[in-house]
Amino acid sequence: MSIEREVQQQPGVAPDQPITQGGPTLPQERRLVTEIPGPKSREMFARKRSAVPPGIGTTLPVFVTHAGGGVLVDADGNSLIDFGSGIAVTTVGNAAPRVVERVRKQVADFTHTCFMVTPYESYVEVCERLNALTPGDHEKRSFLVNSGAEAVENAVKVARHATGRQAVVVFDHGYHGRTLLTMTLTAKNMPYKHGFGPYAPEVYRMPMAYPFRWPTGPENCAEEAAAQAIDAIDKQIGARNVAAIVIEPIQGEGGFIEPARGFLPALLAYAKANGIVFIADEVQTGFARTGRMFACEDEGVVPDVICTAKGIAGGLPLAAVTGRAELLDAVHVGGLGGTYGGNPLACEAALAVLDTIEADGLVERARQIGSVMLPRLHALAERFDIIGDVRGRGAMIAIELVVPGSKEPDAAITGEIVRRCHAEGLVVLTAGTYGNVLRFLPPLSIPDTLLEEGLSILEKAIASV
């Protein structure tokens, strides 16, 4: 195999030499020593098939043994370029040094008490830092849970309790999780909802300001979409019945849709005027990913409540609800919580992540990554008319693939490009209501050399289809 010859000439660890450490000490190189997936991964995948239900899908069936910087190393000794960050989670890199150090110490000190039984300082410190970091200088409170879905559910609980209202407004292409309520808030039937009903009541979906697909063109999108949404809320629900508007400032699973500028501020103003809690779901966009600490900042949007997870703790399960003190304080004692929420290992990891973002200038690094990726992708879009749109901010970038000369989504060609990238050792993910979006979420610890090499692989894959 030509790939094999090519890579064996590169310096680095020989395939039979055991890799003993992950994190940034891993050689930062793409190195393919078997086909992808290799024999060991294939063997484990067969085991997965008999032990785990297929409902738990697999993007790329290589079994990982080490990861760090901008690479994932698999059981066969292949080193792959990571453009996925485990879905925007390992923003600071896998096994990031500060995370490893703090978690290692914590796991030896104590692993759990339940914060609601006997508290510990790290939980409070994470909340203090979230209160200070999130948009707005009003008095805030935070509490910690285990997943993005749990954060969104809890934000809705808080909004309903504080307003005494029930309706929740969400948007086309939105994704908010897989629990009963958040699955209901999610727009897309397949695979998230199909056959899992009945869904939770009092959820209303409005049009999204999706510039690429707005019928009258992107320049009218913000104003018309906001007017339609507001009119529908007024007429169909009644503003006084709405507890919360829940929206992602850039939609993640829906296809990295950046709402047309002006849409979010218009919804926020409407929410404010009508006593509706504005909840920003920053689970995917948060923590430096978009070249801002939070994507809301881009338009000066100050949400009442903000949900965070994914990038918060370097891969340890943690999520948070942060919001106006008067809203969060409205809930009775014991009304919020959960056994594991704010687990001490996850809290230590989160503190390490926040330190790393600051010390390593990762907000700026995300912008640099965007400024490397966007010009190359725009140039590709000039050459290949299957690329209908290039969008995103910072290290949250996507291309939308269409049938040339139209806006008709082309999911088949998207899948084929992904397969070719994977075969060449580039981990990329898809997204989008129509399955025709390729999304790029590299860890902010990726070296520029790998970023450029990954883009070259993508270029070749697109050229070859």
Ligand X SMILES: *Cc1c(COP(=O)(O)O)cnc(C)c1O
**Which residues of the chain form contacts with ligand X (CB under 6 A)?**
147-149, 152, 175-177, 248, 252-253, 281, 283-284, 309-310
Q: How far apart, in whole angstroms, are the C-alpha atoms of residue 141 and residue 252?
A: 26
Q: With respect to ligand X, which residue has the nearer C-beta, 56 or 117? A: 56
Q: With respect to ligand X, which residue has the nearer C-beta, 88 or 426? A: 88
User: Within 10 A of 47 (CB to CB), how many other CB atoms are there?
Assistant: 10
Q: Which residue is nearest to ligand X (CB)?
A: 148
Q: How far apart, in whole angstroms, are the C-alpha atoms of residue 332 and residue 301?
A: 29
Q: Which residues contact 109 (CB under 8 A, 6 or more apart)?
A: 344
Q: With respect to ligand X, which residue has the nearer C-beta, 78 or 147? A: 147
- Report the side by side order of strands in the sheet with 396-401: 387-393, 396-401, 437-440, 429-431
Q: With respect to ligand X, which residue has the nearer C-beta, 142 or 147? A: 147
Q: With respect to ligand X, which residue has the nearer C-beta, 38 or 294? A: 294
Looking at residue 12, the DSSP 8-state letter turns out to be S
Torsion angle of C-alpha atoms 123, 128, 130, 132, degrees rounded to 10: -170
Closest distance of CB 341 from ligand X, Å: 13
User: Which of 211, 270, 214, 213 is CA-nearest to residue 242?
Assistant: 270
Q: With respect to ligand X, which residue has the nearer C-beta, 32 or 126? A: 126
Q: With respect to ligand X, which residue has the nearer C-beta, 253 or 410? A: 253
Closest distance of CB 279 from ligand X, Å: 11
Q: At what angle do helices 344-359 and 97-109 cross, to 10 degrees?
A: 160
Closest distance of CB 308 from ligand X, Å: 10
Closest distance of CB 99 from ligand X, Å: 18
Closest distance of CB 158 from ligand X, Å: 16
Closest distance of CB 409 from ligand X, Å: 20
Closest distance of CB 11 from ligand X, Å: 37
Q: Are the C-beta atoms of residues 140 and 390 closer than 8 Å to each other?
A: no
Q: At what angle do helices 218-232 and 263-273 cross, to 10 degrees?
A: 20
Residue 161, judged by CB atoms within 10 A of its CB (0-12, 13-18, 19+), counts as: middle
